[in-house]
Copies of this chain bind each other. A is one copy, B any other.
Amino acid sequence: MKTEKVDKRQAILDAAEKLFCETGYEGTSTRQIAKESGANMAMINYYFGSKEGVFVEIMNERIAGFTSQLKIINEDKISALEKLHRVIEGYVNRILDNTAFHKMMHRELSLTQRPEMYDKIKDAMSHNMQIIDRIITDGIEDGSFNKVDVRMVIGTIMGTITNIVISPHKVMSCSNFDLNNPKDKKIIKDRAVAHLQDLTKVYLTTKR
């Protein structure tokens, strides 16, 4: 039997993330977090100072593991389209492997309050956005891509993926389908990648 001796700090983070995802930040009480994690309530403030401290810590850890996947792609000696397609593949995979977190991030982003978090998320994303922008812009400048509204294209790619995460039932017409089921997730991942790669290829490279 695996030892029960995991540190409470991590248990609190795990429980909090799960609860924040399910019921939102305001909708989750410190007592729930304590109960779910098996830690005493005071431990939350002992480790993180406050409830918001827990939230910030979750965000920071996630965002830390978020960066620098794109940089490698961008430095490869491949065509702009291939770069973009790798980015799409990477994005779909990462986001659909962390649907709960991305729902939460999205939710908090849509709130006017907690501006520090808003800025933090925004900064983390805008860096990635710049890289994608660079890839597409390079493609346009070297003549392999059509002249398009670059920011809108990026919005389309990201919006499509987010849309799948938040309303998977829309995509999968069948109702008895679960994003947590690895089988179903694989299916929808492949569909999303195929669609977005096809869409961008046609839209960006069709001569007209």
Q: Which residues of A contact B (CB under 8 A)?
A: 21-27, 103-104, 106-107, 109-113, 122, 125-126, 129, 148-149, 151-156, 158-164, 166-167, 169-173, 191-192, 194-196, 198-199, 202-203, 206, 208
Contact = CB atoms under 8 A, between A and B. Distances in A.
Contact of A206 (B109, B153, B171, B202): B202
A163 B102 CA distance: 14
A118 to B, nearest CB: 10
Q: How many copies does the complex hold?
A: 2
A53 to B, nearest CB: 18
Contacts of A110: 103-104, 106-107, 166
Given A107-B107, A112-B23, A160 B155 contact: yes
Given A106-B166, A163-B162, A111 B23 contact: yes
Contacts of A23: 111-113
B22 A170 contact: no
